[in-house]
Amino acid sequence: MISLRQVSFSYSDTPVLHHIDLVVEKGEMVALLGPNGSGKTTVIKLLSGVLRPTAGEVHLDGSILSRLKRREVAQRVAVVPQQFSMPFAFTLREVVLLGRTPFHSLFSDGGQRDHRVVQQAIERIGIAALKERFFNELSGGERQKAILAMTLAQEPKILLLDEPTAHLDINHQVEILDLVKRLNREQGVTVIGAMHDLNMAALYFDRLLLLKEGRIFADGTPEKVLTAETIKEVFSASVQVTQHPITKSPHVIIAPGEAPPE
Protein backbone atom coordinates (compact mmCIF):
# COMPACT_ATOMS: atom_id res chain seq x y z
CA MET A 1 0.00 0.00 0.00
CA ILE A 2 2.69 2.50 1.02
CA SER A 3 6.42 2.26 1.64
CA LEU A 4 9.62 4.09 2.42
CA ARG A 5 12.68 2.85 0.55
CA GLN A 6 16.06 3.86 2.01
CA VAL A 7 14.56 7.20 2.99
CA SER A 8 16.67 9.85 4.70
CA PHE A 9 15.58 13.36 5.57
CA SER A 10 17.26 16.49 6.89
CA TYR A 11 15.93 19.88 7.97
CA SER A 12 18.58 22.21 6.50
CA ASP A 13 21.80 20.63 7.76
CA THR A 14 20.18 18.65 10.58
CA PRO A 15 19.64 14.95 9.77
CA VAL A 16 16.36 13.58 11.15
CA LEU A 17 15.87 10.19 9.42
CA HIS A 18 18.56 7.75 8.28
CA HIS A 19 17.98 5.10 5.61
CA ILE A 20 14.47 4.08 6.66
CA ASP A 21 12.93 1.00 5.03
CA LEU A 22 9.25 0.50 5.81
CA VAL A 23 6.44 -1.38 4.08
CA VAL A 24 2.83 -1.07 5.27
CA GLU A 25 0.30 -3.43 3.72
CA LYS A 26 -3.37 -2.74 3.04
CA GLY A 27 -5.51 -2.85 6.18
CA GLU A 28 -2.66 -2.67 8.71
CA MET A 29 -2.72 -0.50 11.83
CA VAL A 30 0.79 0.74 12.58
CA ALA A 31 1.83 3.02 15.45
CA LEU A 32 5.02 5.06 15.25
CA LEU A 33 6.62 5.40 18.68
CA GLY A 34 9.75 7.06 19.99
CA PRO A 35 11.07 9.98 22.04
CA ASN A 36 10.58 13.59 20.98
CA GLY A 37 12.80 14.29 17.99
CA SER A 38 13.05 10.65 16.92
CA GLY A 39 11.33 11.35 13.58
CA LYS A 40 7.70 10.24 14.07
CA THR A 41 6.03 13.36 12.70
CA THR A 42 8.58 13.59 9.91
CA VAL A 43 7.63 10.09 8.76
CA ILE A 44 3.94 11.11 8.72
CA LYS A 45 4.77 14.19 6.64
CA LEU A 46 6.83 12.14 4.20
CA LEU A 47 4.05 9.58 3.81
CA SER A 48 1.52 12.35 3.13
CA GLY A 49 3.77 14.07 0.58
CA VAL A 50 4.08 17.28 2.60
CA LEU A 51 7.84 16.64 2.75
CA ARG A 52 10.08 15.05 0.15
CA PRO A 53 12.95 12.76 1.13
CA THR A 54 16.50 14.07 1.06
CA ALA A 55 17.38 10.60 -0.25
CA GLY A 56 15.36 7.51 -1.11
CA GLU A 57 11.75 7.23 -2.29
CA VAL A 58 8.24 7.04 -0.89
CA HIS A 59 5.92 4.75 -2.86
CA LEU A 60 2.11 4.79 -2.87
CA ASP A 61 0.29 1.94 -4.61
CA GLY A 62 3.42 1.23 -6.63
CA SER A 63 3.92 4.85 -7.76
CA ILE A 64 6.60 7.25 -6.56
CA LEU A 65 4.70 9.66 -4.32
CA SER A 66 6.57 12.79 -5.43
CA ARG A 67 5.52 12.17 -9.05
CA LEU A 68 1.81 12.17 -8.21
CA LYS A 69 -0.29 15.33 -8.25
CA ARG A 70 -1.38 16.65 -4.86
CA ARG A 71 -5.02 16.01 -5.76
CA GLU A 72 -4.20 12.39 -6.63
CA VAL A 73 -2.49 11.89 -3.28
CA ALA A 74 -5.34 13.58 -1.39
CA GLN A 75 -7.86 11.23 -3.02
CA ARG A 76 -6.05 8.29 -1.39
CA VAL A 77 -4.37 9.64 1.75
CA ALA A 78 -5.98 11.64 4.57
CA VAL A 79 -4.20 13.22 7.53
CA VAL A 80 -5.46 13.97 11.05
CA PRO A 81 -2.96 16.62 12.24
CA GLN A 82 -1.91 17.49 15.79
CA GLN A 83 -3.62 20.86 15.46
CA PHE A 84 -6.23 22.15 13.03
CA SER A 85 -6.98 25.87 12.85
CA MET A 86 -10.10 27.25 11.21
CA PRO A 87 -9.84 31.02 10.60
CA PHE A 88 -13.37 31.22 9.18
CA ALA A 89 -16.73 30.94 10.92
CA PHE A 90 -17.43 27.49 9.47
CA THR A 91 -19.94 25.12 10.94
CA LEU A 92 -18.94 21.55 11.69
CA ARG A 93 -20.76 20.39 8.54
CA GLU A 94 -18.86 22.91 6.41
CA VAL A 95 -15.55 21.74 7.88
CA VAL A 96 -16.42 18.12 7.09
CA LEU A 97 -17.33 19.19 3.54
CA LEU A 98 -13.70 20.32 3.12
CA GLY A 99 -12.88 16.63 2.98
CA ARG A 100 -14.45 16.57 -0.48
CA THR A 101 -12.01 19.23 -1.77
CA PRO A 102 -9.80 16.69 -3.62
CA PHE A 103 -12.80 15.87 -5.80
CA HIS A 104 -13.83 19.44 -6.72
CA SER A 105 -12.72 23.06 -6.32
CA LEU A 106 -11.92 24.44 -2.86
CA PHE A 107 -14.97 26.65 -2.33
CA SER A 108 -17.46 24.53 -4.27
CA ASP A 109 -20.57 23.61 -2.32
CA GLY A 110 -20.31 20.12 -3.80
CA GLY A 111 -22.87 17.96 -5.50
CA GLN A 112 -25.49 15.57 -4.18
CA ARG A 113 -22.98 12.77 -3.74
CA ASP A 114 -20.62 15.07 -1.80
CA HIS A 115 -23.36 16.04 0.63
CA ARG A 116 -24.43 12.43 1.00
CA VAL A 117 -20.87 11.34 1.80
CA VAL A 118 -20.50 14.21 4.29
CA GLN A 119 -23.76 13.31 6.06
CA GLN A 120 -22.73 9.66 6.26
CA ALA A 121 -19.34 10.62 7.71
CA ILE A 122 -20.97 12.84 10.33
CA GLU A 123 -23.39 10.10 11.31
CA ARG A 124 -20.69 7.42 11.40
CA ILE A 125 -18.58 9.52 13.77
CA GLY A 126 -21.67 10.24 15.89
CA ILE A 127 -21.71 14.05 15.75
CA ALA A 128 -24.92 14.73 13.82
CA ALA A 129 -26.29 16.79 16.70
CA LEU A 130 -23.34 19.18 16.36
CA LYS A 131 -23.32 19.69 12.60
CA GLU A 132 -24.70 23.26 12.64
CA ARG A 133 -22.47 24.37 15.52
CA PHE A 134 -19.53 26.60 14.69
CA PHE A 135 -16.32 24.59 14.64
CA ASN A 136 -14.41 27.09 16.81
CA GLU A 137 -17.05 26.80 19.54
CA LEU A 138 -16.60 23.03 19.93
CA SER A 139 -14.62 21.32 22.67
CA GLY A 140 -11.27 19.73 21.90
CA GLY A 141 -12.77 16.26 21.69
CA GLU A 142 -15.62 17.44 19.47
CA ARG A 143 -13.19 19.21 17.14
CA GLN A 144 -11.09 16.07 16.82
CA LYS A 145 -14.20 14.07 15.92
CA ALA A 146 -15.07 16.70 13.32
CA ILE A 147 -11.60 16.42 11.81
CA LEU A 148 -11.93 12.64 11.76
CA ALA A 149 -15.28 13.00 9.98
CA MET A 150 -13.62 15.36 7.48
CA THR A 151 -10.95 12.78 6.70
CA LEU A 152 -13.63 10.07 6.44
CA ALA A 153 -15.50 12.23 3.91
CA GLN A 154 -12.28 12.19 1.90
CA GLU A 155 -12.86 8.43 1.41
CA PRO A 156 -9.16 7.63 1.87
CA LYS A 157 -7.40 4.32 1.53
CA ILE A 158 -4.78 5.44 4.06
CA LEU A 159 -5.35 7.43 7.25
CA LEU A 160 -2.32 9.16 8.80
CA LEU A 161 -2.61 10.28 12.42
CA ASP A 162 -0.19 12.75 14.00
CA GLU A 163 -0.72 12.52 17.76
CA PRO A 164 -4.51 12.22 17.36
CA THR A 165 -5.22 12.14 21.10
CA ALA A 166 -2.82 14.88 22.23
CA HIS A 167 -4.37 17.27 24.77
CA LEU A 168 -7.58 15.22 25.03
CA ASP A 169 -9.19 13.85 28.18
CA ILE A 170 -9.02 10.09 28.61
CA ASN A 171 -12.66 9.58 27.57
CA HIS A 172 -12.09 11.45 24.29
CA GLN A 173 -8.83 9.57 23.70
CA VAL A 174 -10.72 6.28 23.93
CA GLU A 175 -13.58 7.54 21.73
CA ILE A 176 -11.22 8.73 18.98
CA LEU A 177 -9.15 5.54 18.92
CA ASP A 178 -12.29 3.38 19.06
CA LEU A 179 -13.56 5.22 15.97
CA VAL A 180 -10.24 4.79 14.16
CA LYS A 181 -10.16 1.08 14.99
CA ARG A 182 -13.71 0.68 13.69
CA LEU A 183 -12.83 2.42 10.40
CA ASN A 184 -9.92 0.03 10.02
CA ARG A 185 -11.99 -3.07 10.74
CA GLU A 186 -15.18 -2.14 8.87
CA GLN A 187 -13.78 -0.27 5.86
CA GLY A 188 -10.27 -1.70 5.57
CA VAL A 189 -8.64 1.73 5.92
CA THR A 190 -4.89 1.44 6.44
CA VAL A 191 -3.91 3.42 9.55
CA ILE A 192 -0.48 4.80 10.44
CA GLY A 193 -0.29 6.92 13.57
CA ALA A 194 2.41 8.77 15.47
CA MET A 195 1.71 8.12 19.15
CA HIS A 196 3.21 9.17 22.48
CA ASP A 197 1.21 6.92 24.79
CA LEU A 198 2.76 3.44 24.74
CA ASN A 199 -0.19 1.81 26.47
CA MET A 200 -2.78 3.30 24.10
CA ALA A 201 -0.63 2.17 21.17
CA ALA A 202 -0.51 -1.37 22.55
CA LEU A 203 -4.28 -1.42 23.05
CA TYR A 204 -5.27 -0.21 19.58
CA PHE A 205 -2.46 -0.97 17.12
CA ASP A 206 -1.46 -4.42 15.89
CA ARG A 207 2.03 -3.36 14.81
CA LEU A 208 4.40 -0.97 16.59
CA LEU A 209 7.39 0.75 15.01
CA LEU A 210 9.88 2.14 17.51
CA LEU A 211 12.18 4.93 16.32
CA LYS A 212 15.42 6.01 17.95
CA GLU A 213 17.51 8.89 16.62
CA GLY A 214 15.93 8.67 13.18
CA ARG A 215 16.35 4.93 12.73
CA ILE A 216 14.02 1.96 13.18
CA PHE A 217 15.00 0.32 16.46
CA ALA A 218 12.20 -2.25 16.71
CA ASP A 219 9.28 -3.33 14.52
CA GLY A 220 6.65 -5.93 15.37
CA THR A 221 3.75 -6.81 17.62
CA PRO A 222 3.22 -4.93 20.90
CA GLU A 223 4.49 -8.01 22.75
CA LYS A 224 7.72 -7.99 20.75
CA VAL A 225 8.38 -4.25 20.84
CA LEU A 226 7.26 -3.17 24.31
CA THR A 227 9.76 -4.82 26.62
CA ALA A 228 11.40 -3.23 29.65
CA GLU A 229 14.82 -3.60 28.03
CA THR A 230 13.77 -1.98 24.76
CA ILE A 231 12.02 0.93 26.48
CA LYS A 232 15.07 1.49 28.68
CA GLU A 233 17.31 1.55 25.60
CA VAL A 234 15.13 3.95 23.58
CA PHE A 235 13.57 6.22 26.23
CA SER A 236 16.19 5.93 28.99
CA ALA A 237 13.31 5.15 31.36
CA SER A 238 13.01 2.38 33.91
CA VAL A 239 9.68 0.59 33.57
CA GLN A 240 7.94 -2.65 34.31
CA VAL A 241 5.89 -4.32 31.58
CA THR A 242 2.91 -6.41 32.66
CA GLN A 243 -0.24 -7.71 30.94
CA HIS A 244 -3.33 -5.57 30.60
CA PRO A 245 -5.93 -7.31 32.82
CA ILE A 246 -8.62 -7.28 30.10
CA THR A 247 -6.90 -7.39 26.70
CA LYS A 248 -3.68 -9.17 27.81
CA SER A 249 -1.71 -6.67 25.71
CA PRO A 250 1.54 -5.27 27.18
CA HIS A 251 0.99 -2.60 29.81
CA VAL A 252 3.85 -0.29 30.73
CA ILE A 253 4.21 0.82 34.35
CA ILE A 254 6.55 3.75 34.90
CA ALA A 255 8.94 3.46 37.84
CA PRO A 256 9.60 6.67 39.83
CA GLY A 257 12.92 8.38 39.27
CA GLU A 258 13.74 8.16 42.95
CA ALA A 259 12.94 5.32 45.32
CA PRO A 260 10.03 6.15 47.68
CA PRO A 261 10.97 6.74 51.33
CA GLU A 262 10.74 3.72 53.61
Query: Looking at residue 17, what is its pLDDT?
Result: 96
Query: Looking at residue 258, what is its pLDDT?
Result: 52
Query: Looking at residue 261, what is its pLDDT?
Result: 53
Query: Looking at residue 140, what is its pLDDT?
Result: 85
Query: Looking at residue 108, what is its pLDDT?
Result: 59
Q: Spell out the SS3 assignment of the chain.
A: CEEEEEEEEEECCEEEEEEEEEEECCCCEEEEECCCCCCHHHHHHHHHCCCCCCEEEEEECCEEHHHCCHHHHHCCEEEECCCCCCCCCCEHHHHHHHHHHHHCCCCCCCCHHHHHHHHHHHHHHCCHHHCCCEHHHCCHHHHHHHHHHHHHHCCCCEEEEECCCCCCCHHHHHHHHHHHHHHHHHHCCEEEEECCCHHHHHHHCCEEEEEECCEEEEEECHHHHCCHHHHHHHHCCCEEEEECCCCCCEEEEECCCCCCCC
Query: Looking at residue 255, what is its pLDDT?
Result: 75
**Which sequence spans correspond to the domains of the chain?**
81-155
* Contact call for residues 212 and 34 (beta carbons, < 8 A): yes
Query: Looking at residue 20, what is its pLDDT?
Result: 95
In 3D space, the residue among 94, 97, 101 whose CA is nearest the CA of residue 132 turns out to be 94
Instruction: Please report, in tens digits, the pLDDT of each residue of the chain (262 residues total).
Output: 899 999 999 998 899 999 999 999 999 999 999 999 899 999 999 999 999 999 999 999 889 999 999 888 988 999 988 777 777 788 999 999 988 888 876 555 667 888 899 999 999 888 999 999 998 899 888 888 899 999 999 999 999 999 888 888 898 889 989 999 999 999 899 999 999 999 999 999 999 999 999 999 999 999 999 999 999 999 999 999 999 999 999 999 987 765 555 5
